[in-house]
Structure 1
Amino acid sequence: MTAYSKQSKTAASIVVFEATVISGDCAEALQTLGLRVTTLALNEDNVMGLMSSRPDYVLTINFNQYISEVCELLKIPYLAWVIDTPCYPIYDKAINHSHSFTFIYDAAVARRLRQSGVRQVYHLPVAANLERIGRIDFETPDSLAENDISFVANLTRTEYRTSILPHLSAQTREGCKRLIASLDRPDGFEHLSTQLGDEFISTLKLESNYPLAGDRYLSVAEKLAYLLGREHSWQERIDVIQQLEERFCVAVYGNEEWQAQTGSYVGHADHFTEMPRIFQRSKINLNIIRSFVESGLPMRVFDVLSCGGFLVTNDKEDLHRLFTAGKDLVIYRDTQDLIEICGYYLEHDEERRAIAQQSRATLAQNHTFLQRMTDMLSTVQSELRGEPGAFSRWYR
């Protein structure tokens, strides 16, 4: 599809503001679709420069309320693709601007915003750039990438651990501990904010002096739920890795925070050059989706599969809507199940390779950036014609 400029019959212009990952993949796909693409660093000068350049569209990775304000003033459609949880700017009133169109990788978050009165918000999963991966030289020997089990992820020390927990009374600390433990259940986060009553929140704020606040579309209880969820995921990642490394040869790539938690830490891996080789050459690639992500899938899922890697992951709803468990990837229920799965597939090479091969074919058919940018533009153009765009290709 080719989008055309409102001012002429030439191809439409779009400014893509750069982000650490996927903005380049989006720009490449948009160029393939025939748009005139300009990529810019995200800074104040370039945002204000929109007033003179007047593109037909603006795209960012994650929502930026200041760009939304400028585009609303200029009446330029602003497209935001939210790929992080939590993304706090989406709860600002700016997300409901008439020229803002927000696409969120987690359908549960998008649906809740719609229920709160935000109309132009949609579900759009992340994707794979198979062409970019195809340009990588996988033939160069790299013994550091050849692992039995690899986990590529940062371990981020949480605000709860550093700024809240040290100041809590024993009683409040125990209450938080029980709430965090409740996230071991698959549906735990869905119900967490309803367990956080006003009295408990007031006590926590008073004891910790932490500036806990909500936003237009985010309650204080929901904000606290995210803080506790992040702490649960911190603990979960450490626990899973420590149990795996007792039985298998594990390699953990990420930030230096891992060093104090595991003997399997091997260092940082560059997203565009080193990670693809790790994903392709590891026998098993592990994915631990954070407990506060309700239904969506992180980039790691698509990155691993795009390299022809074999993926074992914990469960989220989008896995069943976008892929076929046991055919494209393998889902584990709990840590004991994960240990048994890893033991099985380390001994069954042919089954493992067949699943990895099939998953890449599934990506090519259904989950490319070209398809995502087509869906995004089609939705926005429908809305601009006065025809409501579909909430999601995978959810009604």
Structure 2
Amino acid sequence: MEVKMKIGMLTWDCFGKEDMSEAFKRLGHDVVECPFLDNAEPEDKGAVEGLERQIRESDPDLLFSFNYFPIVAMVCKNLGIPYMSWVYDSPHVRMYHYTIAYPTNYVFVFDSAVYEEFHKGGVPTVHYLPMAANTDRLREMNHFREFGKTPWKPQHEVAFVGALYREKHQFYRRLTGITDYTRGYLEGLIGAQKLVYGYNFVQEALPDKIIKDMQKSLPMQVRAGEVESIEYLFAQYVINRQITALERFELLAAAAEKYGLDLYTPDQTVQIPGCSNHGSLDAYAWAPYVYKMSSVNLNITLRSILKGIPLRAFEIMGAGGFLLTNYQEDFLSYFTPDEDFVYFESREDMLSKIAYYLKNDDERKQIARNGFEKIASRHTYVHRAEEMLSYWKHGEVR
């Protein structure tokens, strides 16, 4: 018989907290919300003591949060409470903190490459767990008449929801004082990586000379208590983000030129011929309508996600939308290409597959149905909650 537990859920401005809370409750557990400032650090003694008092008052059997927070790990270790976190950001530098190895931690990451890195490093508290979708909630979101009254009504058959990373404060744009050699090296590295899906070589291709020159314009440093390398910071936060910015713009511009495009992105200044930029869209309340109403939903993965399946892909399939995505290795462990989803390997491949599936409605709709059924039967938040709790109950380490 399942033992009823009291689960403390740290609530901050994150996606999925409602779905995860519902999943724990459906499994028969109580959930108590614990408001949390996600910028608190373990070096802040006052913040640690305040969080300890808050957790004692809630008195949970375990604590859960989306993403990993060293201060929470420290408090849970002090109180002897299991800390369960599910990381969906990439990169997530807070994982690279000495607290990650605390025995009270159960840290789940959606990118198998990140799991492999920690596993090889001898950290037994990190586990691999893909993202999920709440298919019950998404299935019920069929008020299309209401959606049509909003400023976000689709105008084309192809859509993309997500950031373009072209903001003025983007780190790569701050590299104004680097040498011509460094600039040429980085542009060559970016150009080469853009041609390759399935393997990211940016971090290993950054020599000390290039790092030191970049640091003159962008003085990144590893913070106290963290164990990531300076190469990691520049590769993931600077270069891979720039690759994503270039790649998304180029691929979306190509799709818009040939087929038209509905773009939902925070930057309303972006103008692309053939594209209707609708601005920002609430991912929880409105994005599922886009996924349902668009014939082709594009996913162009952030390059710092090395193998993992982005949350956007689960939401698209979980809403019953047709997913056309770049290649990511982890897809193949759970879904069948051309049956549950479709992937592309180049700009030309993407364009040809858009053309094919816009002409072949029945095949496209069947793939969307298959993807939805696969999510509903194996990849909901309830499935994930059961998996996470099993690690704690049975002490499983893999």
Tell me the TM-score normalized by structure 2: 0.89
Q: For residues 111 and 281 of structure 1, do their structure 2 counterparts lie closer, same or farther at Cα, with a shift above 3 Å needed?
A: same
1:297-308 paired onto structure 2 within 5 Å:
297-308=309-320
- Counterpart of 1:184 in structure 2: which amino acid? K
Give the alignment partner of residue 222 of structure 1, picking from 226, 229, 232. Answer: 232
1:120 aligns with 2:125: yes
- Counterpart of 1:17 in structure 2: which amino acid? L
Residue pair 2:264, 2:277 contacting (<8 A) in 1 also: yes
2:28 equivalent in structure 1: 34
1:138 equivalent in structure 2: 143
Residue pair 2:327, 2:343 contacting (<8 A) in 1 also: yes
1:196 equivalent in structure 2: 206
Separation in 1 of the partners of 2:56 and 2:146? 50
1:168 aligns with 2:162: no
Residue pair 2:6, 2:61 contacting (<8 A) in 1 also: yes
1:58 aligns with 2:36: no
1:1-396 paired onto structure 2 within 5 Å:
2=2, 4=3, 11-18=4-11, 19-43=13-37, 48-140=53-145, 142-143=147-148, 144-145=153-154, 147-156=156-165, 157=167, 159-163=170-174, 165-186=175-196, 190-206=200-216, 208-213=217-222, 216-226=226-236, 227-256=238-267, 259-260=270-271, 263-383=275-395, 388-389=396-397, 391=398
Separation in 2 of the partners of 1:93 and 1:194? 23
Separation in 1 of the partners of 2:331 and 2:311? 13
Residue pair 1:113, 1:217 contacting (<8 A) in 2 also: no
- 1:264 CA drift (Å): 3.0
Q: How many residues align?
A: 377
Q: Secondary structure at the match of 1:351?
A: helix
Residue pair 2:9, 2:63 contacting (<8 A) in 1 also: yes
Deviations 1:39-95 (A, max 9, x none): 232136566400333211100000011111100100100001001100010001111
Moved beyond 6 Å, runs of 4+: none
Deviations 1:347-390 (A, max 9, x none): 1111111111111111111111111010000011222xxxx43x
Residue pair 2:195, 2:346 contacting (<8 A) in 1 also: no
* Unaligned segments of structure 2, at least 5 residues: 38-46
Quote the sequence identity (%). Answer: 26
- Counterpart of 1:149 in structure 2: which amino acid? V
Q: For residues 127 and 356 of structure 1, do their structure 2 counterparts lie closer, same or farther at Cα, with a shift above 3 Å needed?
A: same
* Unaligned segments of structure 1, at least 5 residues: 5-10, 392-396
Which has the higher mean CA deviation after the structures are superposed, 309-318 or 111-120? 111-120
Separation in 2 of the partners of 1:61 and 1:171? 41
Deviations 1:247-269 (A, max 9, x none): 11111001025525564312222
Which has the higher mean CA deviation after the structures are superposed, 32-41 or 274-283? 32-41
Separation in 2 of the partners of 1:181 and 1:311? 26
What is the aligned-residue RMSD (CA, Å)?
2.0
Residue pair 1:182, 1:188 contacting (<8 A) in 2 also: no
